[in-house]
């Protein structure tokens, strides 16, 4: 067994000033709970309406499904209100009340109505809630298009069909509504799974800056995974527990360091820009060489490129770019260099401080295609870098040495 301190594998404490989270026992995202409760209840009731469930167990399933759906959705709605999501709070709370009201009507109040009018009373109740569902669907046009599909096309239509079947005493119409409800239940189950995966993914993978604070959307930082990791995910380094702790668990307590840098955009998508080693410090600004490479590669004349950070007495490090032209492209290297420098300046900003881009014949790579940026960086900084044994063509690196050692 490893001697790694188990306290290091525990989740990080909530930083001061941050809101509640699932990890710290606060209020989490209750949308998966509300959608799952809705899906289960709708599925059970639809099985009954479609006559796909044995009649002997129908009363028990009917009562349990309605009570579970009502209570669970009321809880989900309260949590949504607590976290400031008014729309979803109204949606879940109202549907929770609907299930409980339907349970009360069927179990306690229908018996006081003449048998001939019981179907009409239940049908009117379903009609009324169908109208509410149309209203909530219209409101959801400004919130989530998927909710519109489920609520308006699916659920509202199902409620109107079931309402008509009960009101007019048409068993075939009720069965049709049951099959329609099964489709709605499947959609709700999918949405619940998607919400759960989204909430778990965003909670587990974070972008942190050098101070350990979560980076804003669009801001580059270190990609980390919140502890504890799932079973089997790199529990130790063989016979070197101390290095495991120092390399992966110490810099940001409570998180596993992936070694990759990136950012999350305003829509929540995660972009991996490269290894942390490829993040350079230019006059106190941490810049991703991968982001600069992405800009250089967007030029129509560039086939492949690399950006490295080289030592600078004034700024600490400065970026240098190297590009290989596409076959058949002939352009003046100085003109292309000026275009690429301006392109980086326009898309990233003057802070990138990219002043030089060299046009070269080829980039040194390993046989698997990885560009030897570390070796290039070492040669540019004046170190005597050994040629890696995995290099594909040593002649490419030899030809590049004179360019790497040149200074502006």
pLDDT tens per residue across span 97-128 = 999 999 999 888 888 888 889 999 999 999 99
Residue 15, pLDDT above cutoff 50? no
Residue 20 has pLDDT above 60, yes or no: no
Region 258-275: mean pLDDT is 81
pLDDT > 70 in the chain, percent: 87
Average pLDDT for 264-276 = 79
Looking at the DSSP assignment, which residues form a beta bridge with residue 282? 285, 316
pLDDT of residue 299: 92
* Average pLDDT value for residue range 296-324: 90
Instruction: Give the distance, in angstroms, between the CA of residue 212 and the centroid of all CA atoms in the same chain.
Output: 20
Q: Given a cut of 50, is residue 9 above it in pLDDT? A: no
pLDDT of residue 164: 94
Note the pLDDT of residue 231: 67
Average pLDDT over residues 209-222: 82
Q: What pLDDT is stored for residue 171 in this prediction?
A: 92
Using the predicted structure, report yes or no on whether residue 7 has a pLDDT greater than 60.
no
pLDDT the model gives residue 323: 94
- Confidence (pLDDT) at 202: 60
Span of 162-166, 242-246, 355-359 with lowest mean pLDDT: 242-246
Mean pLDDT for the chain overall: 83
Please determine, for residue 61, whether its predicted confidence score (pLDDT) is greater than 60. Answer: yes
Question: Which has the minimum average pLDDT: 83-97, 218-232, 317-331?
Answer: 218-232
Q: Say what percent of the chain tops pLDDT 90.
A: 31
Report the distance separating Cα 16 and Cα 232, nearest Å.
32
Place of tokens 């109208």: 131
What own/partner pairs with CB < 8 Å and gap ≥ 24 does 114-120 have?
119/166, 119/167, 119/168, 119/169, 120/166, 120/167
Q: How far apart are the first and last CA of the chain?
A: 54
Binning pLDDT at 50, 70 and 90, where does residue 408 land? low
Phi, psi of 301 (to 5 degrees): -90, -10
Query: Are the C-beta atoms of 302 and 363 separated by less than 8 Å?
Result: no
Q: How high is the pLDDT of residue 237? A: 83
Q: pLDDT for 163-198, tens place per residue?
A: 999 999 999 999 999 999 999 998 888 888 877 776
Dump pLDDT digits (tens) for 195-211.
Answer: 777 666 666 888 888 78
Highest mean pLDDT among 12-16, 20-24, 82-86, 353-357: 353-357
Mean pLDDT value of segment 286-314: 87
CB distance 168 to 205 below 8 Å: no
In sequence order, which residues have a C-beta less than 8 Å from that of residue 291 and are 6 or more positions away? 220, 273, 348
What confidence tier does 227 reach under pLDDT thresholds 50, 70, 90? confident
375-400 pLDDT, tens digit per residue, is: 998 999 888 888 888 899 999 999 99
């Amino acid at each position: 067994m490893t001697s790694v301190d188990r306290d290091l594998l525990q989740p990080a404490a909530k930083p001061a000033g941050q809101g509640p989270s699932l990890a710290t026992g606060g209020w989490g995202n209750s949308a998966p709970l509300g959608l799952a409760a809705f899906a289960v209840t709708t599925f059970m009731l639809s099985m009954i309406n479609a006559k796909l469930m044995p009649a002997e167990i129908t009363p028990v399933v009917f009562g349990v499904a309605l009570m579970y759906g009502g209570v669970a959705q009321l809880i989900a709605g309260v949590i949504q209100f607590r976290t400031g999501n008014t729309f979803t709070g109204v949606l879940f709370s109202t549907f929770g009340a609907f299930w409980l009201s339907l349970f009360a009507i069927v179990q306690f109040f229908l018996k006081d109505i003449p048998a001939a009018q019981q179907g009409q009373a239940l049908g009117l109740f379903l009609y009324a809630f169908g109208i509410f569902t149309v209203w909530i669907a219209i409101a959801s046009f400004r919130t989530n298009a998927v909710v519109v599909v489920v609520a308006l096309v699916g659920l509202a239509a199902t409620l109107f069909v079931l309402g008509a079947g009960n009101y007019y005493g048409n068993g075939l119409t009720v069965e049709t509504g049951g099959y329609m409800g099964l489709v709605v239940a499947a959609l709700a189950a999918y949405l619940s799974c998607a919400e759960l995966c989204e909430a778990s993914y965003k909670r587990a993978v974070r972008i942190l800056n050098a101070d350990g604070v979560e980076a804003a959307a669009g801001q580059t930082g270190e990609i980390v995974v919140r502890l504890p990791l799932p079973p089997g995910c790199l529990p130790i380094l063989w016979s070197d527990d101390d290095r495991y702790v120092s390399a992966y668990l110490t810099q940001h307590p409570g998180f596993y360091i992936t070694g990759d840098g990136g950012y999350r955009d305003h829509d929540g998508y995660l972009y991996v820009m490269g290894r942390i080693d490829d993040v350079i410090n230019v006059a106190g600004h941490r810049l991703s060489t991968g982001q600069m490479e992405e800009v250089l590669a967007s030029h129509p004349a560039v086939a492949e490129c690399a950006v490295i950070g080289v030592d600078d007495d004034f700024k600490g490090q400065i970026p240098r770019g190297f590009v290989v032209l596409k076959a058949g492209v002939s352009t003046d290297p100085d003109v292309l260099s000026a275009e690429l420098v301006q392109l980086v300046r326009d898309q990233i900003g003057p802070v990138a401080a990219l002043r030089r881009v060299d046009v070269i014949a080829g980039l040194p790579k390993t046989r698997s295609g990885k560009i030897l940026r570390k070796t290039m960086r070492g040669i540019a900084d004046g170190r005597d870098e050994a040629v890696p044994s995995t290099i594909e063509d040593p002649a490419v690196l030899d030809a590049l040495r004179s360019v790497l050692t040149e200074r502006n």
